């Protein structure tokens, strides 16, 4: 039995507290199931690939789940998340400051696995990836759009640990809370990967590029991961996992995919929010090419 749909249905049917408890209790069994599928995939398809384990790092609401699902669509690969990360997210509301356990990658022997996480690019995490020779893609997005997407996602997701904080807030209030509580840490997350990443094992992917030309960027990712260069396969995967296709598969009010628009922040920022975010990440936006200067 695939536990992923079971987990989604439990989240929607149970009260928030019970849904969080169910997610915590299901995580180990789900991980075991995913590894079993990954080992079966390795037996059938492992010989065709250069790497057994692939790693995607991205902040919440930056497209990392989208990229993970496209990479996991290559024959044999299975997505998996270690239970410690799921528990940490439930306890703290996020895993952007999580340190991977030393034995993380030892758990995936003889399995084809795509591991997507929100963990930061700390020296410890990067060293684990380097020593295990795990290729990885680092995905980031305009933090102003991350803030908007995060606010709406948490508001409509009762099991999320931060739901109680955001559910009573207006959009303007929610974006102000995000700016005060998470914005500096999220900017530090992006800088951590840029500062510490292994240039040979890692590649940088901007959400905006992936959104604008999904097949081209996915082909770059596939080459980096050693998945081959079958352009027809890549086009089919990109088409099957377009945002519209994913929205059609799960039209529920609390579905993971909302809009995915580039620049949606302009529809929600007030002058006061603009000033707040400019003071916090104005230099960051210029540094990473999202703005030419501070006059936005």
Along the 296 residues of the chain, how does pLDDT read in single tens digits? 344 444 555 555 667 777 777 788 889 999 999 999 999 999 999 999 999 999 999 999 999 999 999 999 999 999 999 999 999 998 888 999 999 999 999 999 999 999 999 999 999 999 999 999 999 999 999 999 999 999 999 999 888 889 989 999 999 999 999 999 999 999 999 999 999 999 999 999 999 999 999 999 999 999 999 998 778 889 999 999 987 776 666 555 544 455 789 999 999 999 999 999 999 999 999 999 999 999 99
Whether residue 241 is contained in a domain is answered as yes
Report how far residue 86's alpha carbon sits from residue 211's, in angstroms, rounded to the nearest whole number: 27
pTM, to two decimals: 0.90
For residue 101, what is the DSSP state? Answer: P
Q: Could you tell me what percentage of the chain is helix, strand and coil, using 3-state DSSP and rounding each to the nearest 5?
A: 60, 10, 35
Whether residue 36 is contained in a domain is answered as yes
Report how far residue 255's alpha carbon sits from residue 250's, in angstroms, rounded to the nearest whole number: 6
- Reported for 125-128, long-range contacts at CB under 8 A and 24+ positions apart, including other chains, are 125/99, 125/100, 126/193, 126/196, 126/197, 126/198, 128/100, 128/102, 128/104
CB of 108 within 8 A of CB of 39? Answer: no
Whether residue 96 is contained in a domain is answered as yes
| Tokens at 204, concatenated | 């940088």
Report how far residue 92's alpha carbon sits from residue 256's, in angstroms, rounded to the nearest whole number: 20
Whether residue 296 is contained in a domain is answered as no
Report how far residue 83's alpha carbon sits from residue 29's, in angstroms, rounded to the nearest whole number: 9
Phi, psi torsion values for 221, nearest 5 degrees: -65, -45
CATH number of the domain bearing residue 9: 3.40.50.300
Whether residue 30 is contained in a domain is answered as yes
Report how far residue 296's alpha carbon sits from residue 291's, in angstroms, rounded to the nearest whole number: 8
Number of domain units in the chain = 1
For the purposes of burial, counting CB atoms within 10 Å of the CB of 110, is it exposed (0-12), middle (13-18) or buried (19 or more)? Answer: exposed
Whether residue 52 is contained in a domain is answered as yes
Whether residue 292 is contained in a domain is answered as no
- Only one residue has tokens 């795509």, namely 114
Whether residue 295 is contained in a domain is answered as no
Structural domain that includes position 32 = 3-287
């Amino acid at each position: 039995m695939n536990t992923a749909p079971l987990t989604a249905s439990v989240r929607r049917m149970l009260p928030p507290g019970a849904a969080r408890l169910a997610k915590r209790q299901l995580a180990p069994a789900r991980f075991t199931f995913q590894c079993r599928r990954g080992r079966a995939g390795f037996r059938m398809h492992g010989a065709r690939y250069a790497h057994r384990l692939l790693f995607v790092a991205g902040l919440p609401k930056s497209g990392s789940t989208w990229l993970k699902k496209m990479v996991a669509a290559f024959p044999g690969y299975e997505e998996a998340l270690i239970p410690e990360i799921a528990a940490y997210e439930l306890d703290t509301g996020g895993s952007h400051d999580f340190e991977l356990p030393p034995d993380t990658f030892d758990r995936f022997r003889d399995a084809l696995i795509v591991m997507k996480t929100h963990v930061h690019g700390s020296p410890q995490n990067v060293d684990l990836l380097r020593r295990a020779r795990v290729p990885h893609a680092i995905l980031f997005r305009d933090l102003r759009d991350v803030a908007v997407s995060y606010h709406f996602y948490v508001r409509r997701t009762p099991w999320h640990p931060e739901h109680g904080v955001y559910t009573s807030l207006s959009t303007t209030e929610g974006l102000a809370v995000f700016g005060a509580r998470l914005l500096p840490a999220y900017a530090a997350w992006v800088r951590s990967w840029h500062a510490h990443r292994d240039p040979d094992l890692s590649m940088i992917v901007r959400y905006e590029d992936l959104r604008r030309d999904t097949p081209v960027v996915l082909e770059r990712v596939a080459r980096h991961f050693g998945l081959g260069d079958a352009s027809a396969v890549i086009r089919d995967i990109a088409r099957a996992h377009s945002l519209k296709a994913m929205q059609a598969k799960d039209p529920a009010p609390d579905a993971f995919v909302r809009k995915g628009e580039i620049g949606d922040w302009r529809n929600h920022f007030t002058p006061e929010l603009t000033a707040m975010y400019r003071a916090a990440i104005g230099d960051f936006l210029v540094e990473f090419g999202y703005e030419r200067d501070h006059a936005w």
